[in-house]
Structure 1
Amino acid sequence: MAEKMRNASGAEEVSYQIFTLANIVSFVRLLMVPLYLILLLNGCNLAATLVFATAAATDFLDGQIARRTHTVSRLGQLLDPAIDRILMITGVLGVFLVGRIPLWVIVLVVVRDAYLLIGGGVLLSRFHIRVPVVYPGKFATTFLFVGFAGLLLNWPLVPGLGLCDVSWLPGFNGDAVSWGIWFIYAGLVLSLGVTIYYSVAAARALRAALAERSREGCAHDAA
């Protein structure tokens, strides 16, 4: 029987199993990433959009399966957000490579996701701190995924607002643009807010962990 432990709330058991149904779904989603890039770079817009949309639409599936079948695993807790980040970075990189999104969006998404991946990894490995995913973060990811799918499909195009005359703000200038850009903007704003929340929550958890270590050290010295 796989070794199990309880999470901080004590309500859900977390196993060390690898080949659970939820984890298999996560692995399949991961395999869709290179397939999406190959299709896109070979001009197969519709096929690339379908693969990306499938990988993005199943974002909630692995977590729901794990919870409903009571097979939440340590690997799954790591895979789910990591694959979301990988898919996000690959998605934005793909639409940039085909010239449908400005560079600053790439930089913002990659830097934000790298910050969450590296920061979360350090907190988990060194301090055993894991900041739970919040639903606004899922909504931000969904907006971005929908936006990327729209940019991949590149149809239909809608008129720009004509508020400025700069090429690096598609949608706000006068050029026709994919409807997906507005989902991108909404997702970026929401994701930045969620990143601030994660940072504050992580800082509080880190302070608590350091204080606990300090108390344990004092107790050990006193003994």
Structure 2
Amino acid sequence: MTRRATGVDTDRKFTVPNALSALRLCGVPLLLWLILGPQADVLAVVVLALSGITDWLDGWIARRWHQRSRLGQVLDPLADRLYILATILGLALRDLIPWWLVLALVARDLLMAALVPLLRTRGYTTLPVHFLGKAATFCLLYAFPLILLGAAPEPWAVVARVLGWAFALWGTGLYWYAALLYVHQAYALVRSAPRGRAGDGG
């Protein structure tokens, strides 16, 4: 399988997109502290916004400068999921969202993690990111800042809360639908590739 077919341009680990992804990861504990410690909701939303901008920027640079890498394929979705996890834990601990929503999102990620050992038997480490998966992540990354802002006592907070829940429900549905597509994709790879194949990574 060629690098182009797997969406990889380079085997280098130290690239600008990977550095931006690492920087995003450093913001996860800061975000959780802002939500639970001083409950500085506006600053927490600013951190999430900067994370979103950085996410777009590292993807744009990776494509523009031909710096898409295997490490980047791991770091980028990992950062997305950690931001979602930190945000939903913070919101649940503050009783702003129900715990069933947390369990639904965590269960989906556990399902995806369970696919990794199976893929490794065929020489793959990850699956290509699906458009629906990115759309679901986009919805969730918009949903929780809006729900967070919706906790304010001001009248406009009601609008933020309604929009936030709309994004949250749509995002959760898409998140699981994308997971089922990934399961189907993994099943197809396992059936088509012989055991122990030294693949290039999905």
TM-score range, shorter chain: 0.7 to 0.9
- Counterpart in 2 of 1:208? 192
Structure 1 residue 13, shift from structure 2 partner: 4.8
Matches within 5 A, 1:46-195: 46-119=42-115, 121-129=116-124, 130-154=126-150, 155=152, 156-158=156-158, 177-195=161-179
Higher helix share: 2
CA change 1:57–1:186 in 2 (3 A) is: farther
Please point out which of 41, 46, 50 is paired with 1:45: 41
CA–CA separation in structure 1 for the residues paired with 2:31 and 2:157: 22
CA–CA separation in structure 1 for the residues paired with 2:193 and 2:20: 34
CA–CA separation in structure 2 for the residues paired with 1:78 and 1:124: 14
CA change 1:77–1:146 in 2 (3 A) is: same
Identity %: 36
Larger relative CO (CA 8 A, sep 6+): 1 or 2?
A: 2
CA–CA separation in structure 1 for the residues paired with 2:31 and 2:99: 20
How many residue pairs get aligned? The number is 191
8 Å CA contact retained: 2:121, 2:195: no
CA–CA separation in structure 2 for the residues paired with 1:95 and 1:73: 33
**DSSP-derived class of the 1:72 partner:** coil
- Counterpart in 2 of 1:221? none
TM-score (norm 2): 0.84
Question: What does the per-residue CA deviation read over 1:83-138, in whole Å, with 9 as the maximum and x for residues that have no partner?
Answer: 1111111121111111110011000011111221342x324533222321111211
- Give yes or no for the alignment of 1:15 onto 2:21: no
CA–CA separation in structure 2 for the residues paired with 1:56 and 1:20: 19
TM-score (norm 1): 0.77
- Counterpart in 2 of 1:162? none
8 Å CA contact retained: 1:157, 1:179: no
8 Å CA contact retained: 2:13, 2:69: yes
Please point out which of 173, 196, 205 is paired with 2:180: 196
- Give yes or no for the alignment of 1:30 onto 2:30: no
CA–CA separation in structure 2 for the residues paired with 1:199 and 1:74: 20
CA–CA separation in structure 2 for the residues paired with 1:8 and 1:211: 23
Structure 1 residue 9, shift from structure 2 partner: 2.1
8 Å CA contact retained: 1:33, 1:52: no
CA–CA separation in structure 2 for the residues paired with 1:123 and 1:23: 26
Structure 1 residue 14, shift from structure 2 partner: 3.4
CA–CA separation in structure 2 for the residues paired with 1:73 and 1:24: 12
Structure 1 residue 53, shift from structure 2 partner: 2.3
Structure 1 residue 211, shift from structure 2 partner: 6.8
From the CA coordinates, give the structure whose radius of gyration is larger: 1
Question: What does the per-residue CA deviation read over 1:48-92, in whole Å, with 9 as the maximum and x for residues that have no partner?
Answer: 111122213433322221111011122111111111111111121
CA–CA separation in structure 2 for the residues paired with 1:126 and 1:78: 18
